[in-house]
Structure 1
């Protein structure tokens, strides 16, 4: 055997060994890839994504797509080779697994948090949309949290609307504290509540009190909060999605459906962004994957939170215009430019 042949054989064996090692060796990383997109103006699994009851609605054409990111599970052991491939290709992000699943939380706990954020984003989107449309929204006082092993445990539930305490109507969270602390530890407090399940009936609940460890004031073990009270019902039918990043697109979908005319003019617009009650749009994670998902779905414009613009513009998918928005009002103005072709869009620029 010649020296050249021997060298080739040894090199080949080393390559095979390295390839096997890269395939079998796992690294503590996860992968983000473009996820599904859903048109908030259209149907989802046989139901409209946004359904309105008790108010006039108007037909809306075009697309206002919310975008998602697909994430590997906490139990996924990423091979070193897969991590390397993910780093070099442009349609995936490889990130430390801790950034997706903190060590102190199980995958189920992370999923639960994401589901709660998604539900919360829907409520914020409704409030922001109503404010944009000039529709007044009242607030109602609810049971925000129930502490463990307290008199209220099992009697009151998070989300219960507090109608009155001891016969006194409740208007603010401060009213709850004032009504309870009128009592002495050991007394009974009488709540009238509307249940979390709107199909249930109003009920009267008697709850005992205990002394606070610091100052002895009466406690039942709840933290009050507030919940918007809408003049009519808006329901969002969307499942298997988590996190707060669809808030902006939900708000725009609600505005479009409740407004005469057409926000998009039939154009295909996608986007992302968290939403506050005042209509402020906040940045999100995985924006690059979401712009790819939007482009692949057919979008020509992508409404991008101001805080994500620089990152998104660095790897802008071809054929997709990234439009900077900082609020629902900004987004509505941008859609007016997109629809009419008149005016100038504020496009994202790489930092």
Structure 2
């Protein structure tokens, strides 16, 4: 066999061996890439994303798109070839597996956590939007969760409204722990509650619940010390004067809060917030309308621009990262609050874009 042919054959075999090794050898990395965007003013899965009843709504135009990031699953084993490709690809990011799934978190656990964050995000989005419009929203303290094998298991249930503890009115979740820990372990504590079934029925009718029960629970000693506990986590729930439902499947995490709020505001006001423009964005939101940072901002910018967005509402704390690599044709608009975002949309709608709050890489 001629030397040149032998060299080429050996090189080919070596390349094949390296490729096989690259496919077979697994590495502890995960990949993030641009995900789909969804217009909060439009439909998804054949039904409106935002569904408002028992209140007058107005026609909308344009886009207020929420953005997402795709991630590889917790159980996916990336090989070297995929990792190298991801590192070289401009729109994708390869990160250590533990960055997305810390402490050995399973895909099921991650999905559940994301679903809970998404649910809370929807609740806060509704509260912030209605308060922005001056529409009253009532708050109440509820049983958020009941620990397994705790004194409260079978007696209190998630969603029960806590009206009082030992006859003292409860005004905030922190009040529950303060009142319970006044007891010594082994002592009884009396909860005045509205059972979750009655609470939901009253909420559906947009009325205050009138049915209350008194339940007695024997406290036990906390695993972390000598204080008395009953084994529940208290939280905050809200009652709305009309129905606002957010219908969107297969999405998790809290980052769509801002765009949901803006969509609700747009539907409940006669003017068009977008003026027909294509606007996308991201950001968490709390009950008071404060916008918080999110992850994967670079990929969300890419996904938004590919979908056709011209403007991108960017949380203030993500601005520097976002401004370091802006897709051509996309204008970043810095926002700190829901009110900020609404004012910027009014300027975009009116064509007065020269004074929009911008993002800088510094």
TM (norm. structure 2) is 0.88
**SS of aligned partner of 1:337:** helix
Q: How far apart are the structure 2 equivalents of 1:45 and 1:167?
A: 48
Partner of 1:160: 160
Contact conserved, 1:209 with 1:218, CA < 8 A, in 2?
A: no
Partner of 1:208: 217
Partner of 1:291: 301
Q: How far apart are the structure 2 equivalents of 1:186 and 1:235?
A: 42
**SS of aligned partner of 1:78:** coil
Partner of 2:288: 278
Shift of 1:296: 1.5
Q: How far apart are the structure 2 equivalents of 1:10 and 1:236?
A: 61
Q: How far apart are the structure 1 equivalents of 2:121 and 2:145?
A: 18
Partner of 2:325: 315
Q: Pick from 332, 356, 361 the counterpart of residue 345 of structure 1.
A: 356
**SS of aligned partner of 2:33:** strand
Q: How far apart are the structure 2 equivalents of 1:294 and 1:207?
A: 53
Matched, 1:258 2:254: no
Shift of 1:67: 0.7
Contact conserved, 2:40 with 2:260, CA < 8 A, in 1?
A: yes
Partner of 1:198: 200
Q: How far apart are the structure 2 equivalents of 1:148 and 1:71?
A: 32
Shift of 1:188: 6.2
Q: How far apart are the structure 2 equivalents of 1:215 and 1:267?
A: 57
Q: Pick from 251, 269, 278 the counterpart of residue 268 of structure 1.
A: 278
Q: How far apart are the structure 1 equivalents of 2:272 and 2:75?
A: 45
Q: How far apart are the structure 2 equivalents of 1:106 and 1:5?
A: 51
**SS of aligned partner of 2:98:** helix
**SS of aligned partner of 2:102:** coil
Structure 2: runs of 5+ lacking an equivalent: 203-208
Q: How far apart are the structure 1 equivalents of 2:214 and 2:303?
A: 49
User: What is the number of residues matched between the two proteins?
Assistant: 351
Shift of 1:183: 7.0
Q: Larger deviation: 337-346 or 32-41? A: 337-346
**SS of aligned partner of 2:272:** coil
Contact conserved, 1:207 with 1:220, CA < 8 A, in 2?
A: no
Q: How far apart are the structure 1 equivalents of 2:88 and 2:106?
A: 30
Q: How far apart are the structure 2 equivalents of 1:211 and 1:88?
A: 56
Shift of 1:101: 1.0
Contact conserved, 2:311 with 2:330, CA < 8 A, in 1?
A: yes
Contact conserved, 1:143 with 1:159, CA < 8 A, in 2?
A: yes
Partner of 2:76: 76
Partner of 1:101: 101
Q: How far apart are the structure 1 equivalents of 2:307 and 2:57?
A: 27
Shift of 1:350: 2.6
Q: How far apart are the structure 2 equivalents of 1:142 and 1:24?
A: 51
Matched, 1:10 2:10: yes
Q: How far apart are the structure 1 equivalents of 2:104 and 2:86?
A: 26
Structure 1: runs of 5+ lacking an equivalent: none
Distance 1:174 1:95, change over 3 A: closer
Matched, 1:146 2:146: yes
